[in-house]
Amino acid sequence: MLENIFQPMQIGSLELKNRFIVSPMETNYCTAEGEVTETFIAYHEAKAKGGWGLIVTEDYAVDPLGKAFPYVPGLWSDEHIQGNKNLTERVHKAGGRIFTQLYHCGRSTTKEIIGTDPVGPSPIACAPNSGPTRELTTEEVGGLIEKFGDSARRAMNAGFDGIEIHGAHGYLIAQLMSPYTNKRIDKYGGGTIGRMRFPLEIIGNIRKKCGAAFPIQFRISGEELAIGGREIEDTKVMARMLEEHGIDSLNISVGASGSKRNSVVPSMVSHGWIADYAAEIKKVVKIPVIVAGRITEAMLADTIITSGKADAVAMGRASLADPELPNKAKSGNFENIVHCIGCMLGCAVRNCQFLPVRCVLNPRIGREKEYTITSCDRKKKVLIAGGGPSGMEAAIVAARRGHDVTLYEKRDRLGGQYYLAAVPPWKGEISDFLAWQVRTMEAEGVKVVTGTELTRGYVETENPDVLILATGSISKLPPVPGIDQSFVMTANEALEGKKDVGRNIAVIGGGLVGSETAHHFAVHGKKVTIIELLPEIAKEEPDVIKGFLLKSLEEYGTEIYTDTAVQKIDAQGNIHVKKDDRPVMLGKFDTVIISTGMQSVKTMQDAADLPVDEIHVIGDADETGQVIKAIDDGYRVALKL
């Protein structure tokens, strides 16, 4: 099925060995001065080793005032060339090809980041910035064109195989291209010709400084998905103009600042959702068209190309979850690939907090050197209690290092609570990761014993060198009268699917787990009511996920009571609450689901006299929280055994 994705492809003068392209992603791995770091180089080197046909780096600023993030790399100075030479040499040595993406963010930044008011084509401020946006003068626009050209020359001197001009996502070039943000009446404004003058003069300047053979790719949003923003028919015209002015390939994305939906979407959005925009653009140009957008699997990537919608695919988060995806796909090793689940937590959420980008499923991302699995000095007998994501990750890494590993799980299934996290709608892809962990443990020779609780007695009999307690967490129950009745159950029990759940359900506790549990039952035809003490539900969900969840809960007619304190559950299934200091009775419910938080399982944690040299407590057993910590704990602890 992969006959097209592994075909070589030409971008201008450059031949790519295949059509797997790493989509540009800010990492926060560079310095505040725009210098690349060893972390940044090792991260790209790992992808080059993983077999990607082309890596497009994150956006490099052409001017320090064009930074949307504090730690983006830069090419605004000749001093940036040497560090990037080290990067390109390492990538080339590993068999990769690399473009640098060049950008200026224009109005899409804040005074805190750049130290002065942001600039834009017109004085229209952008949401993250609380101050004004200063309109660029005509001369300043001309000056920025030179800066793009100079940065491209530096990129060429640093050994990059080409550049991508970032004309998407509502950054400065896109701002000038769009009637949404460009209200100018000088030569850089007005109709399509005026709005295209900035990108076309940038291309001309780069060609002048880098020559005709230097590959130039252009990233463009097929639609801005913003009220009054650019739509696909206008983009098609622009694509033709870009081709006519010497662009070698087009990389299609979507969005602008203020869009209804931007390019980085969670699991609620379909795989390959931008491909139809690319297909439209492909109808009007002859140069290669590339597309991104939740393309997570090799077979999907190949199918998009086979369907004629694009010539190559850009995969962002899929390359974080598994930098070796192309090599594994090429060797037919599909079941060994870790696929992105669109959770947003390690990548997009951390990026917006200016933290180094990570991947929930792949702790090694951004720590390629420190997190390298090496053979152990001495083979140890390792016992692990708990077959959730944390325990399984520890088992895999410990076994890969050559230890003798046995994992005990007290249930008759593996996956821990993360197995239940996969149950609600839109989260099913989590099972893909757990299935990978289960398969990989088997492949690495981990002995797995399910249906067996690891107890002190077992530990004493087995006499291990290392004990890892990955025993997770259990539901915390509030002291509410009536909670012990037969029709009351925890969210985990309800999601496990082994207890009868009636038609009319109340969920007490509208945090992440409660809201997702409510959503699950609402989608499966139940009438659901959420009762939450705080003023809002799903507080811990990232905003981008919360938006989808709240809308769907509303569509399914879920009743939501916030600022509401539960007083009692009576024998008839009524819930007595206090709302606005008044007693109210809600009901009558067939089933009441409790989701009011978790607490660590402390089994054996205080057994200081256990006959084991090394004891580690990891994941939720150490501190309840998020799976990113649980998986990272497992990996990190096993690296040091």
Ligand X SMILES: Cc1cc2nc3c(=O)[nH]c(=O)nc-3n(C[C@H](O)[C@H](O)[C@H](O)COP(=O)(O)O)c2cc1C
DSSP H helical ranges for 444-474: 456-462
Q: Any contact of residue 389 with ligand FAD (CB under 6 A)?
A: yes
Cα–Cα distance, 357 to 364 (Å, whole number):
11
Number of residues engaging ligand FAD in binding (CB under 6 A): 37
Q: Any contact of residue 134 with ligand FAD (CB under 6 A)?
A: no
- Identify any residues that bridge with 315 across adjacent strands, giving them in sequence order: 22
Helix, strand, coil % in the chain, rounded to nearest 5: 35, 20, 50
HSE of 602, CA atoms in CB hemisphere, 13 A: 4
Task: Choose, by CB under 6 A, the member of 23, 182, 471, 529 that binds ligand FAD.
Answer: 471
Q: Is residue 572 within 8 Å of 485, Cβ to Cβ?
A: no
Residue 206 interacting entry, from ligand FAD, ligand X, none, C-beta within 5 to 8 Å by type: none
- Based on the number of CB atoms within 10 Å of its own CB, is 227 exposed (0-12), middle (13-18) or buried (19 or more)? exposed
Q: Any contact of residue 198 with ligand FAD (CB under 6 A)?
A: no
Residue 527 interacting entry, from ligand FAD, ligand X, none, C-beta within 5 to 8 Å by type: none
Residue with tokens 């439209």: 280
Query: Using the 8-state DSSP alphabet, how is residue 168 labeled?
Result: -
Considering the complex, state which of residue 279 and residue 617 has its C-beta at the smaller distance from ligand FAD.
617
The mark string for 8-27 relative to ligand FAD (x by CB under 6 A, - otherwise) is --------------------
Closest approach of Cβ 492 to ligand FAD, in Å? 6
Q: Any contact of residue 496 with ligand FAD (CB under 6 A)?
A: no
Task: Choose, by CB under 6 A, the member of 202, 385, 446, 468 that binds ligand FAD.
Answer: 385
Select from 581, 485, 415 the least CA-distant residue to 508.
Answer: 485
Considering the complex, state which of residue 353 and residue 374 has its C-beta at the smaller distance from ligand FAD.
353
Closest approach of Cβ 591 to ligand FAD, in Å? 16
Considering the complex, state which of residue 189 and residue 619 has its C-beta at the smaller distance from ligand FAD.
619
Closest approach of Cβ 58 to ligand FAD, in Å? 25
Q: Any contact of residue 464 with ligand FAD (CB under 6 A)?
A: no
Closest approach of Cβ 219 to ligand X, in Å? 5
Which one of the listed residues 171, 180, 418, 419 is annotated catalytic?
171
Residue 151 interacting entry, from ligand FAD, ligand X, none, C-beta within 5 to 8 Å by type: none
Considering the complex, state which of residue 348 and residue 494 has its C-beta at the smaller distance from ligand X.
348
Considering the complex, state which of residue 266 and residue 634 has its C-beta at the smaller distance from ligand X.
266
Q: Which two tokens stand for residue 254?
A: 């979507």
Query: Using the 8-state DSSP alphabet, how is residue 58 labeled?
Result: E
Residue 516 interacting entry, from ligand FAD, ligand X, none, C-beta within 5 to 8 Å by type: ligand FAD
Considering the complex, state which of residue 357 and residue 489 has its C-beta at the smaller distance from ligand X.
357
Select from 164, 150, 152, 64 the least CA-distant residue to 105.
Answer: 64
The residues in 409-438 that bind ligand FAD, with binding defined as CB under 6 A, are 409-411, 416-418, 420-421
Closest approach of Cβ 438 to ligand FAD, in Å? 12
Closest approach of Cβ 25 to ligand X, in Å? 4
Select from 242, 232, 233, 224 the least CA-distant residue to 285.
Answer: 242
Cα–Cα distance, 62 to 146 (Å, whole number):
10
Considering the complex, state which of residue 364 and residue 519 has its C-beta at the smaller distance from ligand FAD.
519
Closest approach of Cβ 477 to ligand FAD, in Å? 15
Q: Any contact of residue 603 with ligand FAD (CB under 6 A)?
A: yes
Considering the complex, state which of residue 276 and residue 496 has its C-beta at the smaller distance from ligand X.
276
Query: Using the 8-state DSSP alphabet, how is residue 193 labeled?
Result: H
Query: Using the 8-state DSSP alphabet, how is residue 596 labeled?
Result: -
- Identify any residues that bridge with 165 across adjacent strands, giving them in sequence order: 102, 218
Which spans of this chain sit near ligand X (rule: CB under 6 A)? Answer: 23-26, 58-59, 101, 166, 168-169, 219, 253, 263-264, 292-295, 315-318, 347-348, 351, 357
- Name the closest residue to ligand X (Cβ): 316
**3-state SS string for 328-392:** HHHCCCHHHCCCCCCCCHHHHHHHHCCCCCCCCCCCCCCCCCCCCCCCCCCCCEEEEECCCHHHH
Relative to beta strand 9-11, strand 14-16 is antiparallel
Tell me if residue 171 is catalytic: yes
Closest approach of Cβ 84 to ligand X, in Å? 16
The C-alpha R_g of the chain, in whole angstroms, comes to 27
Q: Any contact of residue 620 with ligand FAD (CB under 6 A)?
A: yes
* Cα 448-454-458 angle, rounded to 5 deg: 105
Please give the C-alpha separations between residue 560 and each of 328, 554, 557, in angstroms, as whole numbers: 46, 9, 9
Q: List residues with catalytic annotation.
A: 171
Residues that bind ligand FAD (CB under 6 A): 385-391, 408-411, 416-418, 420-421, 453-454, 470-473, 492, 495, 512-513, 516-517, 601, 603, 619-621, 626-628, 630
